[in-house]
Structure 1
Amino acid sequence: MTTTADTIFALATGTPPAAIAIIRVSGSRSWQVAEALAGPLPSPWSPAYRRFRKPGSSDILDKGLLILFLASRSATGEDVAEFHLHGSRAVVAAMLDTLGEFEGCRLAEAGEFTRRAFENGRLDLTAVEGLGDLLAAQTETQRRHAIRIAEGGLAAKIAEWRRHILACAAAVEALLDFSDEGDVEEVALASRIAALDAEMSRLIAQPSSERLQAGVEVVIAGPPNSGKSTLLNALVGREAAITSPHAGTTRDLVQVPAVIDGLPVRITDSAGLRTQDADEVERIGIERAERAIALADIVLWLGDEPPPTKAIWVHSRADLPGRGLQPPECDVMVSAATGLGLSTLAKRIGAAARLVVPAEDVVALNDRQRAEVVGARDALRLGIVETDPLLLSEALRQALLALDRLRGASYAEEMLDQLFSRFCIGK
């Protein structure tokens, strides 16, 4: 059975072999363990060179740096010891095995260091979610947004909202105590709550951060033999889809993640759209293609006829005879064979994608966060129409409770278990 009273340890750096490995130990016994392995302890935050020995043996496990961190200023809110070692598999395995022999010490579970930081007040829940997104980030846009959240961008906004709501609550108390002066106070309250409503609504209206994490859905569509699979391969830079001069080669959806113009996208190659001469399997592929087009954020249309839906109209195969001039109704002319127009198309895709992901200069909400902000805003809206100060006071209290849930002051253990399971063992 695992408990927070246990002292935990894990490799905090990448899988060996590596030049350096860092093993982190956190908990009430961490310094005691460090002393047993390294001898006299250095001052906190002062790296010290030590030989690490297995207790009861003269054999040296390794030589390296020992750094201690006091609970009051450590990442987890507990006493922490870090061993900076040589990064061979044998050294890391020997150190981890030795740490596991100490009473009350065990290997950390996934995300347990971060969970302790949260439970000890070093991080709020929004910062934890931002850190999780940062660990999963694959593009520069994802990284910048995750850093903004992990560094407290949303937490600062929540703190500002709470200050305003508490000030409103104090004003309501004044209304109850000095009701004969209520007119002026009520006008100021209404103005303040309206400003909060407007700010929360602007944030709610932004696309969710999940859109940024999952990627923008881009579907390549058009009639058979219009160069869809070839264009997919050119956009992702590899042979992701089978190409053939024969019509109907692509019969199912082929989806490939990619980064275009700095944004994460998922590009889908679809079956050629036609109503005649399609066998049963191809017809199923066409139905799936139509569904994908209906759900897409961006459609790249490669047909010579107008697209059936809003799309970026691409004049493809521009290297072939008779196709070297761009029709005026098309948005961009490309040749996957020569590379003509591919950079222009990428910029068009990027511009369209930025309309469906959060703007780079805002703090975007995930679905959980949005639900709590909506709850806080709706409570404020309900309160502002109340003529009874007692009911307004209750509405303000409900808004504060929603913000407390947002920052993790109250939470469900199941939700935390799911959140921290996304983290690696050493984080």
Structure 2
Amino acid sequence: MHDIRMIRDNPEAFDATLARRGLSGVSSDILAIDTARRAAIQAAEAALAERNAASKQVGAAKAKGDDAEFERLRALVAAKKDEIAALEAEAKAADEKLTEILLTLPNLPHDDVPDGADEADNVEIHRWGTPRTLDFAPKEHYELPAVQGAMDFETAAKLSGSRFVILSAATARLHRALAQFMLDTHVEEHGLTEVITPVLVKSETMLGTGQLPKFAEDSYQTTNGWWLIPTAEVTLTSIPAGEIMDESYLPRRYTAHTNCFRSEAGSAGRDTAGMLRQHQFEKVEMVSVVHPEESRAELDRMTECAQAILEKLGLPYRTVVLCTGDMGFGAQRTHDIEVWLPGQNTYREISSCSTCGDFQARRMNARFRPAEGKPEFVHTLNGSGLAVGRALIAVLENYQEPDGAVTIPEVLVPYMRGKTRIEADGTLS
């Protein structure tokens, strides 16, 4: 959420920055509501002062036996009470309207974010690895003989509908191994703290990280009001919500492996084949809570943590900085990491790392107390480290063999109890 004082002091700059995200002339409506709200508050305070002064005079008039003055003052007190109530209601309504607008406005992009309309305008900033040269036509993950019967979309559809999958046998084991490997790497090498969080959260938790109110249709809500998390970003980022931390508490770096749930309401017809876009999937998430001066450097650090997973797996990738038209709602700058998928002959997103500045911290009121001065809002960052299902897809496609088998990446062999291949019949060897 945006600081109303910043908008009040720099409306032109605010509008110019939001215009980079396709919004124009926003500040005029905001400031009109803010002016009305502040006027109502000031009028209520003035009326309260008049009522208090009159209340003090009521007793004196009665003591003097001045009945006319006593009745006038008593009527004035009653009238001011009604006036104050009306003005406070007016201020409250304006405040709610102002908050409603501010909650639906996206974050302001960093100056170094490229302008653009969509993913075609994203800018590549890093590339690692060379796609393997295959002397056979590569298959997509769900076509591989090694996963036939172990990647079951039909039974999942019978149980739950489209965009679900049942994994079994060696494929399920490889999926589990990937998640374990990611967690161990982030904890032991990258210094993140492993956390197990709920997957059901309250509306205010979703509101704090920016999933509500704008993206309610993209998530699932239970009949008693809980929401299924679309990512562990929601829970991990919300750990310091409503708190004032000591400066020494920062930075905090978390990681969690959770199921994630998304309705994919805005992606009808996209990536319907295979496991690329599911309603339920697993992800190892990274979240950092840092001092404002450290957030930009932390984004680079987080990006390197995600890239390291792919490098250890031997998976070629490229990293792009998203343009203003492709960037997420709460982000100031985003680095997308795209892994090479030979079955599609293209790079596909497997991680998205973003710095949100104080955008989420303001919504959830998460602050720290510096050595000197008043409490300040922390900065928050989040990133996939990685999406487990998409990592499974990438391993299956990049390590496929002409006989239909899949070689297991060396770094995962210990997690597979020494097995090095998924044979074409689905068995481990």
Task: Give the structure-2-normalised TM-score.
Answer: 0.26
Q: Which structure would you say has the larger Rg?
A: 1
**Which structure has more RCO (C-alpha within 8 Å, separation ≥ 6)?**
2
